[in-house]
A and B are shown apart, each in its own frame.
Chain A
Amino acid sequence: MNNMNKEDTQKASIDLALWMGDNALILGHRLAELCGHGPILEQDIALTNIALDLVGQARMWLTLAGDLEGKGRTEDDFAYLRSDKEFTNIKLVELPNQDWGYVIARQFIFDAHHLVILEQLCTSSEKAIADIAQKAIKEVQYHLRFSSEWIIRLGDGTEFSRKRMQSAFDKLAPYIKALTLDDPLTILAKEAGIGIDNKDVEEKAWKTFDAILSEATLELESPEYFHKGGKQGLHTEHMGFIIAEMQSVVRAMPNNKW
């Protein structure tokens, strides 16, 4: 820690807060699209609860990013006034909703990582990061339980539902690895005791996958090739539309209060 430049660790903390915030925001946004369209009323409500948790967490992370940066940027400045290339979220969370099985599989993959990430961040040497992680972790424990149960239910349900789930995991598999990719700032954050140990996250997440998927009679293997790029601002073609839509009111009438 001592030989590290304070400016660098600051940068690493901001980078981490933005990454956490962007992932939560974009996934929350996707889940919120389903509000009113969920397959069963009870599940519509349940999924919206997760969306609310995630957008709520995004607000805390983005606010923290602004505080650390010290240029007066707010959560809304980050959400509404950055271009899609400035968003650092992984591609997994921006993938368009398909059926309930796909939405649950995407959620489960994210949750399994998210929980371990937050467990680690609870002991971050950057107190503000640890504070947010401690608030978020209770919510994410529930998210993982919810998505795990649905994976098992649908995997071990009917032959039809098993096939759907398997196909969802096959489609999503190439997007998993990007959740645990290192770059200079994540390495720096880890070494400074601020951030995430990606190797550990990956191991634990896959342990969860193995346990739940075997009970669900499903298979998941880490593919040889995977999609990277989200963190660096290179996204799928879907991302531009998310951002265009999300920011449309604010961009059409700039410099207003809402």
Chain B
Amino acid sequence: MDNTWPLWEVFIRSKNGLSHKHVGSLHAADEDMAIENARDVYTRRQEGVSIWVVESKHISASNPSKSEELYDPAKNKIYRHPTFYDIPDEVGHM
């Protein structure tokens, strides 16, 4: 029987007000241990105030070979950006 602990992905909120960010992974037998291991491994220098862990196998990811069809269409929609619109300087900051 394979007793290797499963792999977990670790997300850390570096301070309140910011979102959790992926920092890496580790092995643990269960979620409690994963959080404690994450605390010991990834916050040794006060890097965080909150930890999320999720077992790696539960993460679904987009397919990188489809990245052109997924992300390129957004490129030509420049009207979504504020600089697309001309506002005279006299109006001031908008």
Contacts and interface: CB of A to CB of B under 8 A. Distances in A.
A and B touch in the complex (CB under 8 A): yes
Interface of A: 40-43, 45-46, 49, 146, 149, 153
A46 B29 contact: no
Given A40-B27, A42-B26, A42-B27, A149 B32 contact: yes
B40 interface: yes
Contacts of A40: 5, 27
B31 to A, nearest CB: 12
A147 to B, nearest CB: 11
Nearest to A42: B37
B36 A46 contact: yes
Nearest to B5: A40
B29 A49 contact: no
A153 B37 CA distance: 15
B44 interface: yes
B27 A153 contact: no
A90 to B, nearest CB: 26
B26 A153 contact: no
Interface residues of B, number: 12
Contacts of A49: 40, 44
B28 interface: yes
B29 A153 contact: yes
B37 A46 contact: yes
Interface in B3-42: 5, 26-29, 32-33, 36-37, 40-41
Contacts of A46: 36-37, 40
A153 B32 CA distance: 11
Nearest to B37: A42
23 contacts: A40-B5, A40-B27, A41-B27, A42-B26, A42-B27, A42-B28, A42-B40, A42-B41, A43-B37, A45-B37, A45-B40, A45-B41, A45-B44, A46-B36, A46-B37, A46-B40, A49-B40, A49-B44, A146-B36, A149-B32, A149-B33, A149-B36, A153-B29
Given A42-B40, A45-B44, 18 more contacts: A40-B5, A40-B27, A41-B27, A42-B27, A42-B37, A42-B41, A43-B37, A45-B40, A45-B41, A46-B37, A46-B40, A49-B40, A49-B44, A146-B36, A149-B32, A149-B36, A153-B29, A153-B33
Contacts of B41: 42, 45
Contacts of B33: 149, 153
Nearest to A149: B32
Contacts of B5: 40
A250 to B, nearest CB: 28
